[in-house]
Structure 1
């Protein structure tokens, strides 16, 4: 394999770079999404439906701690990309060292806290009755591995910041494939039950961590830190925190939105409407993977060239990423508009759900072709280190527009109003993002070219 350098982000053609960065990111997202689905099928068939409920109880806690690693990784990676672009290697190294220290402190602290209050937290998240015992078994083992997952999420984002998308893809492949293999071994062969499911997941984290550790110790990485760079730097910690908070806020709003929509739909249509939303949610995870992959591929290119002062390349990256992501989003849109019944039948044979879900799918994805502008626009501000606009634009889609609309529109349109909230909030947030992105391009990029 030819050695790849972060300098390629500042020299290679933008279109070629975006494809090189986005394709591995998209494949990684797809594999992780498929892993969640297949893992659920394995656990449900080999242990039982209670096991699925037990895992769902634990996921919010483990996802939150893992999200800390992701937030620190994304926040610091923006700094690293810009520092490498500006040839400020010392700042890149110090940032990486500070990321490792922060990830260790936060994930270990929260894991200890979670283990200490295990008997209170599990019932609070719904682990009651027959669910409590299997949830506790799964929870305790998973929390041993969650700090390791935090380092995996951190490492994956830093690898991408170095301009090494294939290695970042491998880092996403390994825990996904490893989890399925270990599931089969621990649950189906060794019959370890719930503990086997937990050790399979934790074991996959360990294997992924060892791969990432090998990457940073090998010649593939440009970031060779010393012990002095683990010492926290106040300015860098603040910048990591402010940019990383954008990611944490996004994760929090997604969780709150799912909770609110589930409750609102249950009040209108009962379990059938909630099931329809579950299918819509799964489709958002699967079918939008190329658009999300393009967004992830865009970030290190924009950050590196911004740090290098190559503002014409930054502008070209923005326009090209929006064009490519819009094309991908349109393909997704056409598939969902033309075949919603076929897609629904992949998930269920329930006649009521099959009757209700297709129209809801069409409403939920009606504005997908323009969504690329919103996602790329918000990602741009995070990539160049502008935390406040990145945060506000990230929150416009769900927190600022969608949640109020899902309460207002049903007063006039009933349950349909909830589904109408999806495309309306997408359109409004895209208009707002487009305005601020266009102003930023004119004031910052064009003015400096």
Structure 2
């Protein structure tokens, strides 16, 4: 879908850069053509521009229009499947290699924010909150697992310590990750776009790609122009339609819903989140929340399979918010929006090449803020001739959903129902 209007979200209402870039007109040449101006595309473009490549980015709508500009804004380490799962499924060697990269995405974000002075309300600290004793046991195991991979900036919080960090009686314990954090994602992605342009890169909005002409020098076509290049990077993720049909069979767009309250008083902010950390709980269909730079509470959660947009977002999310923070009863909700992320069957990212010079990366399965930035760095390495780290991801099996496009939504919804029941029963 091509549109010059962002969804009505808190992020869109508080952006630092309101410019609209021109659409692609005429024929161009570049070293790299990146399809999609979200985190994956712009991280790739920026890392390549820093290496001296001539980069053109084509965006069907606006910079950050998809998940990159709508998400919860939380810097969460690792992948949607952790290293113990990866080791069990693919062997210790693969687990070690992926574990060595699992905490790098946050470093990439902080480096870019610092180097290019991006104003995106970056704040430190994130919390995983356990809703039952089983989940707290799992957090203790997560701490040991992550520490075995060298990530030691972690603190366990027991039931009596949690209220010092979260003003809720809902949790039995938590894991505080001091190197995690949160930010304004749309301002981050817009800042990254400015960084790309400062290095000579070109970004065209409202320039949906209609086809990719393969060859030794592929050509990327839009309605009114083309880009002939040496490499293509396809980074449309959940908003990619028709360009890579085989890859689309291996993933499913899913929606998540987010609300943002009116500004809260300083005393309310201190009561809810005394240390201004972001939080996500440990349920399968998890809740996540944080304070914005101007003192509002962003609260999100829920999943709609197949990227359907629910009629009334507030009716889905406000009851969860009040379950966590009953003291917010009567608080006005100023913004409510939804956005799509891309789920894979194994809940691990899918990287690959087509004919050696068309790259793709997709399917972060809810861990996109950090994984996309890591992806851009290692894709930049691969295009520059250092493909060892890219090949670790590209070597993971990529399975289509059982039953194809027709059955993947009901199958996944049934699985979600099962895990939600387990969450409620604490088993």
TM-score, scaled relative to structure 1: 0.23
The structure with more radius of gyration:
1
Higher helix share: 1
